[in-house]
């Protein structure tokens, strides 16, 4: 049995911001707020029944309004990831977008969907978040209507459904940008390196030094990007550079329905996350641009200082910059079409009677 409660947590632009919390009989819970359609908290029991919050975030609304440049937990759009040169052309019409990462456009621009307070309605144990993005927002053409449905089910799965329609041809590629650490949000890089990953991808999209796709693909075999068999992150990550922040091409994309994307396990706690999606790609990101150890930490929930390599993201998506590459899946939404994107996050714990020990 799933319970759902709603509470007021503040205001944004004189509108009420609501928080929704789902709970299941296992002790699993998930909280999301209308500001940014942000997933604020996901609490998962470990193999001994000890619950920890496994996503990075802030305790209060103000944290998201003033400090959330990393998009912690947010719904991002219109277009997740990068658009090279912050511009594109549709039907010989040139559109210039907001530049918010060098000369490029990232995650919808300066005021993207992560900074909107979404309307919301409850439908049983589902919450439907709605937003209207007017023609010209951040440079994008067309009035866009977006609905995102969040639902937690009895089996501790979190279901997300994105849908949108437009009045003009436009670019749409949405995702959720939750940062996970299955040891608990407070444990940082030391425990993240102990996570074991499988990613269902035999190639990645090659990128420039500015993370803009070249249009070519790189086979993962024989490289640190090969997670087709389970690998401990600490064995393959270069702790001094920016691995990983790459689009992995889901090998089974094109099969009807949801495809297996990834499985991640934190062995000490037994907690695992499985991701299933109908999208062609997934951005695997290891929080490279959170503050380094020599910098002041980003202070999050419970006063925890978040730093580089303190969490991972699995952002299901179309390929980045797809509007510029005819060999990528189409990123342009036409009037009369419905953009759809489904993703399921399954949480659980591999059962064991071994004690849980962390070294901080």
Residue-range domain boundaries for the chain: 3-349
Q: Of the listed 138, 151, 191, 315, which one is catalytic?
A: 315
Contact assessment for residue 152 and residue 158, using Cβ atoms and an 8 Å cutoff: yes
Q: Based on the residue annotation, tell me whether 15 is a catalytic residue of this protein.
A: no
The CB density around residue 274, as the number of other CB atoms within 10 Å, is 18
Averaged pLDDT for residues 336-358: 81
Strand 175-177 relative to strand 170-171, pairing = unpaired
Check whether 294 is labelled as a binding-site residue.
no
Interval 243-250 mean pLDDT = 96
pLDDT at 358 > cutoff 50: no
Q: What whole-number distance in Å separates Cα of residue 88 and Cα of residue 322?
A: 10
Measured CA to CA in angstroms, residue 314 lies from 2, 154, 179, 249 at distances of: 25, 23, 8, 12
Report which secondary-structure segment, H or E, holds 344.
Answer: strand 339-349
Q: What average pLDDT does this structure show over 7-11?
A: 98
Is residue 287 within 8 A of residue 296, CB to CB? The reply is no
CA distances from 349 to 53, 56, 190 (A): 14, 19, 20
User: Could you write out the three-class secondary structure of 112-136?
Assistant: CHHHCECEEEEECCEEEEEEEECCC
Model confidence pLDDT, tens digit, residues 41-66: 999 999 999 999 999 999 999 999 99
Residue 359: predicted pLDDT = 37
Helix (H, G, I), strand (E, B), or coil: what is residue 191?
Answer: helix
Question: What's the rounded Cα separation, in Å, for the pair 37 and 310?
Answer: 22
352 pLDDT band, cuts 50/70/90, is low
Q: Encoding tokens for residue 24?
A: 């299941």
pLDDT digits 0-9 by tens, 164-183: 999 999 999 999 999 999 99
* Angle at alpha carbon of residue 74, lines to 264 and 15, rounded to 5°: 150
Pick the CATH number of 3-349 from 2.70.98.10, 3.65.10.10, 3.40.710.10, 3.60.40.10: 2.70.98.10
Q: Pairing mode, if any, of strands 305-306 and 231-232? A: unpaired
Proportion of the chain above pLDDT 70, given as a percent: 98
What does the alpha-carbon distance between residue 265 and residue 272 come to, in Å, rounded to a whole number? 4
Inter-residue contact 179 to 186 (CB < 8 Å): no
* 23 known member of a binding site: no
- Is it the case that residue 256 has pLDDT exceeding 90? no
Residue 78 among known ligand-binding residues: no
What is the mean predicted confidence (pLDDT) over 348-355? 70
Q: What percent of the chain has pLDDT over 90?
A: 95
The pLDDT assigned to 351 comes to: 82
| Residue 242 binned pLDDT confidence (cut-offs 50, 70, 90) | confident
- Catalytic residue at 12? no
pTM: 0.96
Return d(Cα 160, Cα 176) in angstroms, integer.
Answer: 9
Per 3-state DSSP, the chain is made up of helix, strand and coil in percentages (nearest 5) of: 10, 45, 45
The phi and psi torsions of 179 (rounded to 5 degrees) equal -105, 120
Q: Is 82 labelled as part of a ligand binding site?
A: yes
173 labeled binding residue:
no
Q: Which residues contact 282 (CB under 8 A, 6 or more apart)?
A: 199, 201, 247, 248, 250, 261, 262, 275, 314, 315, 316, 317
- Please indicate if the annotation marks 306 as binding a ligand: no
Cis peptide bond N-terminal to 97, omega within 30: no
Residue 354 has pLDDT above 90, yes or no: no
- CA distances to 60, 70, 164 from 303, rounded to whole Å, are 12, 17, 37
Helix (H, G, I), strand (E, B) or coil at 62: helix
Tell me the mean pLDDT in the region 64-69: 96
Residue 238 confidence (pLDDT): 83
State the catalytic residue, choosing from 177, 185, 309, 341.
Answer: 177
Number of residues in the chain: 360
- Helix locations, 17-169, DSSP H: 61-67
pLDDT at 35 over 80: yes
Residue 162 Cα distances to 58, 93, 181, angstroms: 24, 27, 24
């Amino acid at each position: 049995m799933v319970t759902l409660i709603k509470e007021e947590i503040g205001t944004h632009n004189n509108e009420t911001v609501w928080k929704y919390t789902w709970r299941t009989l296992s002790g699993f819970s998930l909280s999301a707020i209308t500001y940014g359609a942000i997933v604020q908290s996901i609490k998962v029991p470990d193999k001994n029944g000890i619950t920890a919050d496994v996503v990075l975030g802030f305790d209060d609304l103000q944290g998201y309004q003033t400090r959330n440049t990393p998009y912690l937990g947010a719904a991002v759009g219109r277009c997740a990831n990068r658009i090279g040169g912050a511009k594109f052309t549709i039907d010989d019409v040139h559109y210039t977008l907001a530049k918010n990462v060098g000369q490029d456009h990232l995650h919808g621009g300066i005021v993207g969907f992560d900074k909107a307070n979404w309307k919301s309605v409850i439908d049983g144990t589902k919450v439907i978040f709605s937003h209207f993005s007017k023609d010209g927002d951040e440079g994008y053409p067309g009035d866009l209507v977006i609905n995102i449905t969040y639902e937690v089910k009895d089996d501790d799965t979190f279901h997300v459904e994105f849908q949108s329609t437009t009045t003009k041809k436009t670019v749409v590629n949405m995702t959720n940008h939750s940062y996970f650490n299955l040891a608990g949000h407070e444990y940082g890089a030391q425990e993240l390196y102990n996570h074991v990953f499988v990613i269902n991808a035999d190639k990645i999209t090659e990128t420039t030094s500015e993370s803009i796709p070249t249009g070519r693909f790189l086979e993962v075999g024989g490289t640190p990007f090969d997670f087709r068999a389970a690998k401990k992150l600490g064995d393959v990550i270069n702790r001094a550079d920016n691995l990983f922040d790459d689009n992995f091409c889901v090998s089974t994309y094109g099969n009807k329905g949801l495809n297996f994307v990834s499985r991640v396990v934190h062995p000490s706690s037994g907690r695992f996350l499985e991701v299933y999606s109908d999208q062609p790609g997934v951005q695997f990101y290891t929080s490279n641009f959170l503050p380094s150890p020599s910098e002041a930490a980003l202070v999050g929930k419970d006063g925890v200082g978040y730093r580089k390599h303190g969490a991972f993201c699995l952002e299901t998506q179309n390929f980045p910059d797809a509007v510029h590459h005819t060999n990528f899946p189409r990123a342009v939404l036409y009037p009369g079409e419905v953009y759809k994107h489904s993703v399921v996050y399954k949480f659980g714990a591999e059962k064991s009677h071994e004690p849980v020990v962390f070294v901080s």
